[in-house]
Amino acid sequence: MQFRHMATGFVVILSLAGCQRTAYNDASYSAPAPLTAQPVPSVQGGQLPPPSGSAQFPAAPTTSAPVAGGQPGAMAANAMDVTKESMVGSWRVNGSCDMFLTLTNLGSGSRGGTRGCVGELTAMGSWEVSGKQVLLKDRSGNQIGSVYKTADNAFSGQTNTGQPISLSR
């Protein structure tokens, strides 16, 4: 029995001997040498060539009916049914910025926001589905615009000040 205790003690002592504290001694530590600067080629300036293809924007699609009366909240006669779940995710707004819609509750709607947009859309903070429309709201819950479904993964509408909104994926 005593041999077993001695062997166990010996193993514990050997194990502890392997555990050493490793720390830098400030006197022995030296900072690495600074890197040498690399030459930078000169920067050239000039006008970019025009983009390939047509220099004009394509004509607007004519498949959807215009917004009735141009009033915020008004929608075309051919508006399609929309569900909250189908709206969740990332949308391209007017081909130039992004809108993100989630199912996280925020007031009476769900959390949403934009990145890179201009005008009233910069204040967007929430959204909700009302009938066949998607209402866009600011962070205080005030409606700033609305869109309606015109095709699969396509919505059209406008802000309260008349700024057109088209969403696509």
The whole-number pLDDT of residue 147 equals 94
Residue-level pLDDT at 4? 82
In whole angstroms, give the CA distance from residue 35 to residue 82.
59
Q: How confident is the model at residue 72 (pLDDT cuts 50, 70, 90)?
A: very low
H or E stretch covering 89? strand 89-93
Q: What is the pTM of this model?
A: 0.55
Q: What is the mean pLDDT of residues 141-168?
A: 92
pLDDT per residue as tens digits for the range 16-48: 776 666 555 666 667 788 888 888 777 778 887
Query: What are the extents of the domains in the chain?
Result: 72-168
Tell me how far the alpha carbon of residue 100 is from its chain's centroid: 6
> Which CATH architecture best describes the domain 72-168?
Beta Barrel (2.40)
Tens-place pLDDT, residues 75-87: 556 788 898 898 9
